[in-house]
Amino acid sequence: MIMIAIFVGLLALVFLGVPILLAIATVSLAGIASVDGLVLALMPQKTFAMLDSFSLLALPYFILAGAIMARGGLSEGLIDFSQKLVGHIRGSMGHTAVLSCAAMANVSGSSTAEAAAVGSLTIPSMKEKGYNPGLAASIVAAAATVGPIIPPSMTMIIYGSMTGVSIGGLFLAGVLPGLMIVVLLMAVIYGLSYLPGYPELRVKLPRASLRQIVKATVEVWPALLAPFVIMGGILAGVFTATEAGVVACLYSLAVSVFWYRGLDVKTIFRILIDAAVTTAMVAGVIGMAGALGWMLSYLNFNDVMLQAMSGLTTDPFIMLMILLGLLLLLTMLLDGLAVIVVLIPTIVYIGQSFQYDPLQLGILMIMITQIAGLTPPVAILLFVTTSIAEIRFVDTLRASWPFVLTLLFALMMVVLFPSLATWLPSQVL
């Protein structure tokens, strides 16, 4: 009964407009107060215990690294480089946005940051080229979903720290699914260009010469090298995934200051403030969700859920579909990070009971939360790109369905072929 009251209360507070951080804190505190044998002092104790993790130290560094690279001239260089590569193909501007998001994912790890950074540069250009603004906003929103899937990823760090799964293994597990999404999105954009309802996708830019491609590569090569520095150092044992965050910060700062020359002291100070605010927000959600997760564990929520789920089906595939459907529903209504932090122990507990690999489960959880970023009522990615395009939300929503279906197809591919997530870590680690 208490567990039902907790979830009903959480949903009610969110729908009343209470920030997710305060909503989780309120139901956690109320839940602890209502359980016999528990004292309120457990609330701060379990909150700080959740944050007392060496792995989570990587979060502020990767957040800062992404902010530095985004404001240090990286976005413009990657977009120009992508345009030189694919500008001559049908759907050229759409392909440029997808490749730019894929390249940005190597340093940002945040889908909303990618949607804002890439969208602010590509959506106005796409509109000038005659693109339907809703289509332009939908393409960028869908492409931004690869941010947390292609490593590095804040969500992977959180998942690894909570489950004990290798963060380096999670980084590797996201490579193939992320690249698959990039290829599928570009294929869909190319296919849509042959339909009568998408005349703007038939517009092609002049083919770049080899000299132009080489010049663009030379200008952007330090940014393209970033993932090899980060992942190479982790896999070679030079530094841990947590220490990689520090390396990413130093590397991104050096590239932005000395190569792109896009930062001054005032801008760096502003970036530090923004990164600190973002880190505080993320850490607050993780801490409060950790207290709520502990209380649910104290109430044997994992066993209750396992028994309830087992009563519905004993088929592993159907069970996984139920879990993913539940995650999609919750992340359509609530903040995806909060949902993941609260439900990671339960999802992994149930998944391992049905012999699912924790690497596969981690990638699937990240993918489903990103799909929720394109599905109302929250649809945070669509809201970001819609505001940039300066159009009605319904116009973007109407144009987004081919890309939502594409992302669902990619999700099913990882469900049906677990090796997409597990093969690369098994070969490297």
Write out pLDDT tens, residues 63-74: 888 778 777 767
Ordered alpha helix ranges (H), 145-259: 154-163, 167-173, 175-192, 210-236, 241-254
Question: Average pLDDT, stretch 117-144?
Answer: 88
What CA–CA distance (Å, rounded) separates 181 from 412? Answer: 12
Q: For the chain, what is the mean pLDDT?
A: 85
- Whether residue 148 has pLDDT greater than 80: yes
Which residue type occupies 71?
Answer: R
Residue entry with tokens 């080489």: 214
For a pLDDT cut of 70, what percent of the chain falls above it?
99
pLDDT digits 0-9 by tens, 80-92 = 888 888 878 888 8
Residue 29 has pLDDT above 80, yes or no: yes
**According to DSSP H, which parts of 299-389 are helical?**
301-312, 316-333, 336-353, 358-372, 380-389
pLDDT band at 56 (very low <50, low <70, confident <90, very high): confident
108 band by pLDDT with thresholds 50, 70 and 90: low
Better pLDDT: 334 or 145: 145
Contact (Cβ atoms closer than 8 angstroms) between residue 364 and residue 414 = yes
Lowest mean per-residue pLDDT among 159-173, 237-251, 267-281:
237-251
Domain boundaries, the chain: 2-428
Q: Judge whether residue 32 has pLDDT over 90.
A: no
- pLDDT given for residue 35 in this prediction: 82
Q: Is the pLDDT of residue 1 over 70?
A: no
pLDDT band at 113 (very low <50, low <70, confident <90, very high): confident
Residue 164 has pLDDT above 70, yes or no: yes
pLDDT band at 343, cuts 50/70/90? confident
Q: What is the mean pLDDT of residues 385-406?
A: 90
C-beta contacts of 43-47 below 8 A and 24+ residues apart: 43/291, 46/290, 46/291, 46/294, 46/295, 47/287, 47/288, 47/290, 47/291
Count of other CB atoms within 10 angstroms of residue 407: 23
